[in-house]
Amino acid sequence: MSDGEEEKGKWTHIIEATWKELQDTSPRYTPYVTYGLLTANILMFLATFGAMSNDPWSVGLTASEFIENPLAPKVLLSMFAHAGIIHLLGNMAYLYKHGDNVEAAMGRLRYLVFYLICGYAAVASQVLYSSAVGTPRVMLAPMVGASGAISGVLGAYLYLWPGASTYRCFCFRFSCYCMRLTARRDIAIWLGFQFVLPVLEPSVAVFAHLGGLVAGIALAPIIAKRENVARLRQMVKQGSIEAPLQTSTKC
């Protein structure tokens, strides 16, 4: 079966499902910047864990602070800090899965700049929403997490890798039903879930996710190296790039 095609799902145990969820159509490329961002997020989580537990406002950025100083160092700090281990692991899984593909198409320096711009755009989008609501509770809620920047990576992935495929697993206790499907459909599922999140967890900054996604889609054609995009898309079309669960899927 060629990349980008879908196949009938099957049940498996949670360990294999977790591994499958991390797989996608990937280039033979060592994503040093993505690994660096993973490391930076983990180190920042460890460094700010105590502060987040005792005083989240010392780490998290509020809409009021952003409006007062859009270039405050805390803007960058908040993009690498996380509220808890589940928050961190979820974000890092998405960054690991999609970051190498986007880095391969953009080049390392451009990818780093792109990531930071998307993170900033995500913060600005959430602040715009908070300002529209205008209540003290919303304006003074601390924002932390890399999900806005990573949403930008997903947006770029949609543009740069139209022929990619991935896995999506739905779990019940320790059994999971995993399907291989196009990356576009997988990210569409993620996007749909963003509209359910406010009901399940009102504290999630959904507009940061949406703002990052839009920024990623808009910036990818500008920042990505055209020759890389053309070459990688041709490789996907020819089936010469590794498919999920084959050896060396992630380099």
Domains in the chain, start-ordered, CATH in brackets? 13-238 (1.20.1540.10)
Over range 162-179, report the average pLDDT.
85
DSSP code at position 248:
T
More confident residue, 235 or 82: 82
| Local confidence band at 8 (pLDDT 50, 70, 90 cut-offs) | low
Q: Please, which pLDDT band fits residue 248 given cuts at 50, 70 and 90?
A: very low
φ, ψ of residue 165 in degrees (nearest 5): -130, 160
Terminal Cα distance for the chain, rounded: 22
Which of 119 and 186 is assigned the larger pLDDT? 119
Q: Is 189 exposed, middle or buried (0-12, 13-18, 19+ CB in 10 A)?
A: exposed
What pTM did the predictor assign? 0.88
Give how far Cα 224 sits from Cα of 25, 36, 201, 249, Å. 18, 19, 34, 22
Could you count the other beta carbons within 10 Å of the beta carbon of residue 120? Answer: 22
Residue 68 amino acid letter: E
DSSP secondary structure letter of residue 57: G
Q: Can you give the pLDDT at residue 243? A: 46
- pLDDT surpasses 90 at 46: yes
Q: What are phi and psi of 196, to 5 degrees?
A: -95, -30
In whole angstroms, give the CA distance from residue 60 to residue 145.
Answer: 9
Asked if the model's pLDDT at residue 12 lies above 70, the reply is: yes
**For tokens 């990052």, what's the residue?**
212
Contact between 216 and 210 under an 8 Å Cβ cutoff? The reply is no
Identify the band that residue 16 occupies on the pLDDT scale cut at 50, 70 and 90: confident
CA distance 13 to 232: 33
Q: How far apart are CA 176 and CA 165, in angstroms?
A: 19
The answer on pLDDT for 4 being more than 80 is no
- Interatomic CA distance for residues 134 and 182, integer angstroms: 40
Banded pLDDT at 145 (limits 50, 70, 90): very high
pLDDT tens for each residue of 189-222? 999 988 888 777 778 889 999 999 999 999 999 9
Span of 80-94, 97-111, 151-165, 166-180 with lowest mean pLDDT: 166-180
